Amino acid sequence: MNAHSTRWGYGDMNAAGKEIDELLNSSLLDLIYDASDPPTYIHYNGSGSTPDLLCVSTVLSPFTNRIVIEDPGSGHRQIVASIVIQGQKTKPHYSQRKSWNFKKLIGSFSEG
């Protein structure tokens, strides 16, 4: 999506960033982001940005921690979410299967 927003560390906001920002403002989702975390995308020239976002339910938001781990060789650092509820820590789940449905996501921006 290449969504830019000052809300997650970009110096500007583009149309895709505005759409995601509006989605976050009008839904029960929270963005888990800390400006002190390293960027999740590493450009070949050494610069970085944060196109990889972690959104969770507003119910889980207070219990959610976001950790950015090193680049596995893809040019993107991975985000690991940890949720602690009532003193019990969940184990991070690393999915081997990638399920990207961009048609569904893009369609959601053009609806309503």
Cβ–Cβ < 8 Å for 10, 49 = yes
The per-residue pLDDT for 88 is 61
24 alpha-carbon distance from chain centroid: 12
Report CA-CA distances (Å) from 64 to 83, 87, 106. 5, 12, 27
Composition of the chain by helix, strand, coil, percent to 5: 25, 25, 55
CB-based contacts of 8, cutoff 8 Å, min separation 6: 31, 33, 50, 53
Per-residue pLDDT for the chain (112 aa), expressed as one digit of tens each? 689 999 998 999 999 999 999 999 999 999 999 989 988 888 888 888 888 899 999 999 999 999 999 878 888 889 999 998 876 666 665 555 555 566 666 666 665 5
pLDDT tens digits, 88-104: 666 665 555 555 566 66
pLDDT at 93: 55
